[in-house]
Chains A and B, each alone.
Chain A
């Protein structure tokens, strides 16, 4: 059985090779830029930037569009609401109580573009970064906050153990399901209550097993001298290189431009 986690698309590209920290920060700054963007030039800048990244990261455009599928209803909903209720500018269409104005259409279009480039832009992060690299990136970014009590190491350790065990537990669940089906269990028919009840023979063994695994894992980690973040080193600490600084500078530049445009125009 093969279970792929997350959406990582394994190709080698300039974007893939960036440090996870740079990619996470760039995504956050990009989101700020999109929120600040206004006017044709502002949106235009963001779109050009996004298009450049999409071209560089060599992930099929189809995959990016897929990330939009989950928010298609939100887009339709907001577009409809804006068109129906915003009554500024001149009227272009009216039928009974429905009045559609140029102001409404413009606002709706603006929102639609903003949502699309926001979601597409941020989905790139998980497409070009492995879950492990993401985890490490988050740990490194949170490290400065350790002084104020953010358990950055523990958060990262939890995430990587979860990543490690999700495939194992999925496989286990499949085995338990088959074993109970062999004892005549039926998971597909009956009403809601019956189906919920049928889950007990799956969930109890799964949790029992998860606890047993956790217990054994904790012991194995202790036996290998694990004691949290005390005096710990890393075999390979990713290096923050020049291209990471360059990439990040580009995004910051974009944001500054967008903000300046907004203030000046």
Chain B
């Protein structure tokens, strides 16, 4: 028997509507057949609300099936008496690292599971040692989890499961809230546990590169299994994946397009390595040359200037930390700037200075030539003109209706109700929230909708500059695309100057004009997109990557001598060039 076996599995829950006082049952799973063999690494993909997490919780006995059968380790998961046995052998890691750490000391947190199982103290110590070693966190044994990075916290959460010696670990979007470095740490740990310790892995994720590491992928849609197969089998069905609002890795999509024109070119390609092999094997026109687009830098009139800005946290205490140091930069009116840098590089601190939320210890910020702190009464005006959308902006929602939520900013600006109505409508229309929803509670919306309402709340203040801190974080591919499109429209149609903080180099490459790279509290690079991504080695030294296509084209130039530019960020454009280069 397989480790997990589900047949026609159903799950249904009752949803209560406050307004209409009606109870409706929602079918989260409508007949799911999924088998997971012992030692297998299975990735589960699907849009938000497709039933992925529900399935995971059923396996762990956190939910009880309402129909069909589910066997885990040969035990019926719908029976109460089997739940403890199952939970002991199937660990679960959740999305938010902060909300699954129980103790104030790393070691004690890892011991929590074994303690619950009633293990002998000497055995617990052994298991904790083993678990810390497995996730390479030995030196943090006595650290306080609050001071660890996101990636480290997730590794602690994994260690907490490992210490119970499980046969299987389910990870429910474990990397959604992490930066690329943290994602890599977690994924390295997960693959190691699968390959070396033989632990069965079920990974729920929105990142296609992570799913590509699995033995098998299950794609869910609307409570059913839509597709199943090896990563190659799944990702080569590009059109089907698109229709399910999912992504495929860029390299796979590129191969897919080339394969459409040149059927000899293989389409089962998951990474740059495989692509290079296929390309070299195919044979290409050695004299091929493509000039590429020349990028002319637009010089815009300066609107925001930062001069010698320094900020030190906890000055003159034991915890003193320089957050940003001697930052100088100029933002032109109408610029679209991508702000990148690994976690802790000072990005978040910097943007909070730009709209006077925080005052620097040294240096100043000038908006339209005027020091933003010059006139204390003018702070509100500055914050209105320079809008700031925080990370996870939906967490600041508080009003009872969507309308009032968006109206909060304009009301604080002291506008008349008529003016406010115009602005609220304009902002909500812009992010695609229909007028019929205005009286609804924002708390009833889906994650992506909530975020768009929160962004509308800042947009309604009609900012001239809009700063967004990782606005796509934690969303599914469809939600990410929607937000990105919205931001592009704000820049192109409304003429808003945008500063976008993101970890996705692919997104930044296609949408921004210029890039600021922060490193250790200073601006390491501030240049056009092409010039910044021209130096992938310099970026990787700062814990960053260049976009996938840039890396591919760089290798093509270096290894095949093909005269191609490396400033290609669009898959279709890349495909066109390569198709004409291939014989």
Contacts and interface: CB of A to CB of B under 8 A. Distances in A.
Interface of A: 1-2, 131-132, 160-161, 163-164, 167-168, 172, 175-176, 178-186, 200-201, 204-205, 208-209, 212-213, 216-217, 219-227, 231-237
Nearest to A171: B146
A175 B412 CA distance: 19
B116 A179 contact: no
Interface in B95-132: 96, 98-105, 107-108, 111-121, 124-125, 128
Contacts of A181: 357, 383
Contacts of A184: 380, 383-384, 409, 412-413, 461
A164 B457 contact: no
B470 to A, nearest CB: 13
Nearest to A157: B102
B499 interface: no
Given A182-B458, A186-B412, A233-B121, A223 B92 contact: yes
Interface of B: 57, 60, 62, 84, 87-88, 91-92, 94, 96, 98-105, 107-108, 111-121, 124-125, 128, 145-146, 157, 160-161, 164, 313-314, 319, 352, 355, 357-358, 380, 383-384, 387-388, 390, 393, 395-398, 408-409, 412-413, 443, 457-458, 461
A175 B107 CA distance: 29
**Of A176, A213, A225, A227, most B-chain CB atoms within 10 Å:** A225
B94 A219 contact: yes
A216 B99 contact: yes
B408 A164 contact: no
Contacts of B124: 233, 235
A205 B409 contact: no
B158 to A, nearest CB: 12
A186 B247 CA distance: 43
B396 A180 contact: yes
Given A178-B357, A205-B396, A227 B408 contact: no
**Of A131, A167, A224, A232, most B-chain CB atoms within 10 Å:** A224
B398 A200 contact: yes
Contacts of B104: 131-132, 160, 163-164
A170 to B, nearest CB: 10
A183 B461 contact: yes
**Of A160, A172, A200, A226, most B-chain CB atoms within 10 Å:** A226
A236 B57 CA distance: 31
A183 B98 CA distance: 27
19 contacts: A160-B102, A160-B103, A168-B146, A175-B395, A176-B395, A183-B383, A183-B408, A183-B457, A184-B412, A204-B398, A208-B398, A209-B395, A217-B102, A220-B102, A223-B87, A224-B112, A227-B116, A233-B121, A235-B111
A140 to B, nearest CB: 15
Given A132-B104, A184-B412, A217-B100, A232 B116 contact: yes
A2 B395 contact: no
Contacts of B387: 182
Contacts of A237: 121
A185 B204 CA distance: 39
Given A2-B319, A178-B358, A231-B118, 17 more contacts: A163-B104, A175-B390, A175-B395, A182-B355, A182-B387, A185-B408, A208-B398, A212-B99, A213-B98, A216-B94, A216-B96, A220-B102, A223-B91, A224-B161, A233-B124, A234-B115, A235-B121
A112 B176 CA distance: 59
Contacts of A179: 388, 390, 393, 396
A178 B99 contact: no
B62 A224 contact: no
A184 B161 CA distance: 44
Contact of A185 (B62, B314, B319, B412): B412
A250 to B, nearest CB: 30
Nearest to B147: A2
A233 B115 CA distance: 5
Contacts of A216: 94, 96, 99-100
A208 B357 CA distance: 24
Contacts of B397: 205, 208
B121 A234 contact: yes
A213 B99 contact: yes
Contacts of A167: 146
Given A132-B104, A160-B104, A235-B124, A182 B398 contact: no
Contacts of A219: 57, 62, 94
A164 B101 CA distance: 8
A182 B91 CA distance: 41
A131 B313 CA distance: 25
A216 B98 CA distance: 10
**Of A167, A212, A223, A237, most B-chain CB atoms within 10 Å:** A223
B319 A201 contact: no
B121 A164 contact: no
A21 to B, nearest CB: 18
A221 B92 CA distance: 10
B443 A208 contact: yes
B92 to A, nearest CB: 4
Nearest to A2: B319
Contacts of A213: 96, 98-99
